[in-house]
Structure 1
Amino acid sequence: MQKLLLTAISLFCCAVLHAQGYEITVKMKDYKQGTLYLGHYMGKSTYLMDSTQIGPNGVAVLKGKEKTPGGIYLVVMPGRQRYFEMLLDKQQTFSMTVDTANLMTGTVYMGSPDNDLFLSYNKFLSAMEPENRELQRLLQQKTKADTAKAVPLQAELFKRINTKREEIVTQHPKALLTSIFKLMKEPEVPQTLPKKADGTADSTFPYRYYKAHYWDNTDLADGRLVRTPIYEGKLQKYFSQLVVPEADSVNAEADRLLAKTRADKEMFKFTLWWLTNTYETSPYMGMDAVFVHLVEKYYVPGDATWLTEEQKNKIIARAYTIAPNLIGQPAPPLVMEDSTGKPVSLYNVKGKYTVLVFWDPTCSHCKTEIPRIDSAYKALWKNQGIAVMGVKTEGTKEEWSAFIHKNKLTGWVHALDAQQKTNYRRLYDVYSTPVIYLLDEKKKIIAKRLGVEQLIGFLQHLDKQTTSNTTR
């Protein structure tokens, strides 16, 4: 069972709908005491929002003064180890009798048409369970004979499920379950490939068609969908598999999607949060430019109205810290001094490329990585005209000099900001060590925050690319 989070992020403060509120009466067959909880999805995460005590007659009443936004909710049993899902939408006053031996399909609702529909669908799926178990058994065997049996069985099960969903969509066009099923619907790509101008089949057509029609069935003005785990999964798939992983392409797609969600505050809020969080914390180099773009376009003008000034300012400050050191930008100038007190300027360092390393002689990770950088410099980079500039961040000048001498870090340009004039931490976002940047001949940032092996591989890739271009 899923573990429910006990606290919600401030971005997800519930929209208050001044109405009758909700009142859900739950009759438990096997519980005479304990705490019953009400939870909800926010994307793929789950949050507890209410609780009540189960009376000696097995009855618990979950009640709130304000109506809660539509979506998939969770009724969580005492002990928080078991739960089942239900739908909440317009009708939020109803009762249910819960069969704890079969939480999903054994529950009976009174006065909740949405959950009657949801229950009927779950019973339909439950009736298919023997066939599904057989399918899983065949797939696990992995023999040709079993695979041959599994393919038509899988196709038949998918067909029946899709037929059932289409039936619900047709008969209940305004139901929450219909919006969920439409969100889950995949584009059907034509099997026949169109011809290109030269008469050959266009092999890129399936991808382009699928991407172009990916959001066709999703109502991006339906805020109920953010309180399901499905919308976040759809976002994740689109941006990780269908959008070119390059900042300008991601920015354009993000803007296009956000424009379509503006009709609903909750949909816009969640989509902007997801994009912001995804690209601020992206492990892929260069994607922080997307985070900066989002902040400049949506947070600075004040579109994130749900945030406090303090929350908004923290996000903006983070973007302004990253902005000066985005890939493609000129590296911020650094004028420091060497161990003898003489001036050292980053822009005076000559090299086809410059490896700029911020490091600390007392840092355990630096003690491992800095000698590895030096080995790569002496074995590979020096003969290729690649320079290395190291900048001390912590430790005393004596510790720094001793480390350089002990590890024979010769050939480097060594610098420190003894007078603390450069503000390098903010300019290069240096709050841990080591931090590595790769600059081109004109000191434009072309890579950053790489490990040593990644840096070696990246430079080899650049060398091959340069060789390829010169031989054409």
Structure 2
Amino acid sequence: MRKLFFLIAVLCYSQLQLQAQGYQLTVKFKQYTSGRMFLAHYMGKGTYLADSAMIDATGTAVLKGKEALPGGIYLVVFPGKQRYFEMLLDKNQTFSISVDSTDLIGKTVYKTSPENDLFLGYNRFLATLQPKTIAIQELLAKRTAQDTLQARPLQTALNKEIQDYRINFITKHPESLLTSIFKAMREPEVPTKPANEDSTFAYRYFRGHYWDEVNLNDGRLVRTPILEGKLSKYFNQVVPMEPDSAIVECDRLIAKARKDKEMFKYVLWWLTYNYETSPYMGMDAVFVHLVEKYYVPGEAYWLTSEQLNKLIGRAYAIAPNLIGQQAPPLEMQDSTAKPLSLYSTKAKYTVLVFWDPTCGHCKTEIPRLDSAFKASWQNKGVVMVGIKTDGTREEWLQFIKAHQLSGWVHAWDPQAQSNYRRLYDVYSTPVVYLLDEKKKILAKRLGVEQLNGFLERLEKEPEGTVKK
């Protein structure tokens, strides 16, 4: 089994006091008489340490705490962190487990934990399906059309068998944590398209019913890998990669999650991180929206002042240079110390490049940008405006001469009066912006190939716009 790495939770998730009596979990290991075992929990895809205890000479380890642990899926990890098994933790947090490492599913026994008896029953059911799973995998591994065709009905039948088990379980145990997990794992079953509906019916139905079975008031789902998977698929595959649509969906989901503190905390954190680190251009506008709407008013109560200020500062650094906004004005000097203004530089398109003649990456990218400019961009009405960020004036001029960067508008800010680093979020180089005729930001942080493709699409679209 995979080795677990226990990470420190960045956002310092606090534990809720679910029961006054705390917890006491007694684990009896058949094959171990020493070493330290660990108790961990999921938080999205990550696993985080909750407790640990030494195993005594009888193979027994006792995990105790004065405050109850938040409900969810927990992992009991063997000494050496090489093996583990999952269990459920909910309201009842005083029980014992007998573990035989030769057969973790077949020989594990819980005492006074009905929830885990049910969970163990499900895992044993899945184990009985293993031969069918292996047979399907063997067919698919052959990678022939005939074998793939043969595997499909077998896979469909297997999936139905699992779904039937879960549906039956949900009916019999409606209050179980496992029921909440099973429901969250469901995806909408799209009905046959009505005659009066268009071709987007399936997508609209799937999107509109995606969260129907997910109980966003159940904070226990936070400590399972299910919730993050649902969030990731919805916001990275279902919701259009367009800021306005994403913002509406973020606000809608956060509103539904508000009734449970743990759920609200996790959903807001995940959305914030997802859009702060999004690889898709323009989606940083969603990050800025989330910070302004939820963090600035103080709703992220779990953050320290330092963490909060850092997050807000990051959003404020991005806010002035979002896609679609007017580029901040820049008043600088050219290479001969004459005044130079960004807005006085007339062009159909402006490629604004912040670069450093001593930067290794710039030494590669600036000549490539220049080659693309001279090969095709110049004919499209592009003006290159290069702004020196670091290095001496001599190094700057020498680089311009050596690489024959003719046709560029070269500028710098020797008195550091323009505040370009904050206005354009220049924390590394090179940083590239594409502006339209009125100096509105069309694109940013693109490589040469991406920028070339973007310009080609702009030229093909009416009125210089690109379809989303």
Per the normalisation by structure 2, the TM-score is 0.97
Give the structure 1 partner of residue 110 of structure 2: 109
Give the structure 1 partner of residue 241 of structure 2: 245
Give the structure 2 partner of residue 159 of structure 1: 160
Shift of 1:148: 3.3
Q: Say whether the 8 Å CA contact 1:11–1:273 is kept in structure 2.
A: no
Shift of 1:150: 1.4
Distance 1:131 1:343, change over 3 A: same
Matches within 5 A, 1:198-213: 202-213=198-209
Shift of 1:35: 0.3
Matches within 5 A, 1:65-464: 65-190=66-191, 192-196=192-196, 202-464=198-460
Shift of 1:378: 1.3
SS of the equivalent of 2:433 reads strand
Q: Say whether the 8 Å CA contact 1:4–1:48 is kept in structure 2.
A: no
SS of the equivalent of 2:136 reads helix
Aligned partner letter, 1:195: A
SS of the equivalent of 2:123 reads helix
After superposition, the CA RMSD in angstroms is 1.3
Distance 1:105 1:226, change over 3 A: farther
Measured in 2, the distance between the counterparts of 1:104 and 1:437 equals 56
Measured in 1, the distance between the counterparts of 2:271 and 2:3 equals 24
Distance 1:268 1:467, change over 3 A: closer
Q: Say whether the 8 Å CA contact 2:193–2:201 is kept in structure 1.
A: yes
Give the structure 1 partner of residue 32 of structure 2: 31
Shift of 1:464: 1.0
SS of the equivalent of 1:389 reads strand
Measured in 2, the distance between the counterparts of 1:315 and 1:16 equals 28
Measured in 2, the distance between the counterparts of 1:18 and 1:401 equals 70
Aligned partner letter, 1:428: Y
Aligned partner letter, 2:43: M
Distance 1:433 1:134, change over 3 A: same
Measured in 1, the distance between the counterparts of 2:374 and 2:150 equals 60
Q: Say whether the 8 Å CA contact 1:437–1:447 is kept in structure 2.
A: yes
Per the normalisation by structure 1, the TM-score is 0.96
Measured in 2, the distance between the counterparts of 1:319 and 1:188 equals 39
SS of the equivalent of 2:233 reads helix
Cα-to-partner distance string for 1:229-272 (whole Å, 9 max, x where unaligned): 01100000001111011000000000000000000000000000
Q: Say whether the 8 Å CA contact 2:352–2:386 is kept in structure 1.
A: yes
Shift of 1:18: 5.5
Measured in 2, the distance between the counterparts of 1:37 and 1:428 equals 47
Measured in 1, the distance between the counterparts of 2:127 and 2:18 equals 35
Measured in 2, the distance between the counterparts of 1:464 and 1:11 equals 50
Shift of 1:23: 0.6
Aligned partner letter, 2:332: M
Aligned partner letter, 2:428: S
Distance 1:76 1:20, change over 3 A: same
Aligned partner letter, 1:80: K
Shift of 1:446: 0.6
Q: Say whether the 8 Å CA contact 1:352–1:385 is kept in structure 2.
A: yes
Q: Say whether the 8 Å CA contact 2:16–2:68 is kept in structure 1.
A: no
Shift of 1:146: 2.2
Aligned partner letter, 2:193: L
Measured in 2, the distance between the counterparts of 1:169 and 1:465 equals 52
Q: Say whether the 8 Å CA contact 2:19–2:91 is kept in structure 1.
A: no
Shift of 1:2: 4.5
Q: Say whether the 8 Å CA contact 1:67–1:92 is kept in structure 2.
A: yes
Shift of 1:11: 4.0
Residue segments in structure 1 that go unaligned for 5+ positions in a row:
none
Shift of 1:145: 3.3
Distance 1:4 1:104, change over 3 A: farther
Measured in 1, the distance between the counterparts of 2:314 and 2:19 equals 36
SS of the equivalent of 1:12 reads coil
2:29 is the counterpart of 1:43 = no
Aligned partner letter, 1:409: L
Cα-to-partner distance string for 1:320-367 (whole Å, 9 max, x where unaligned): 010000001100000000111100100011110000000000011101
Shift of 1:133: 0.8
Shift of 1:28: 0.5
Shift of 1:439: 0.3
Cα-to-partner distance string for 1:173-193 (whole Å, 9 max, x where unaligned): 000000000000111111x22
SS of the equivalent of 1:25 reads strand
Measured in 2, the distance between the counterparts of 1:323 and 1:108 equals 56
Shift of 1:397: 0.5
Q: Say whether the 8 Å CA contact 2:18–2:91 is kept in structure 1.
A: no
Shift of 1:13: 2.8
* Greater CA drift, 290-299 or 382-391: 382-391
Q: Say whether the 8 Å CA contact 1:35–1:51 is kept in structure 2.
A: yes
Measured in 2, the distance between the counterparts of 1:6 and 1:293 equals 29
Measured in 1, the distance between the counterparts of 2:277 and 2:27 equals 41
Shift of 1:139: 1.5
SS of the equivalent of 2:376 reads helix
Cα-to-partner distance string for 1:134-155 (whole Å, 9 max, x where unaligned): 1111121233432333122111
Q: Say whether the 8 Å CA contact 1:37–1:48 is kept in structure 2.
A: yes
Shift of 1:284: 0.6
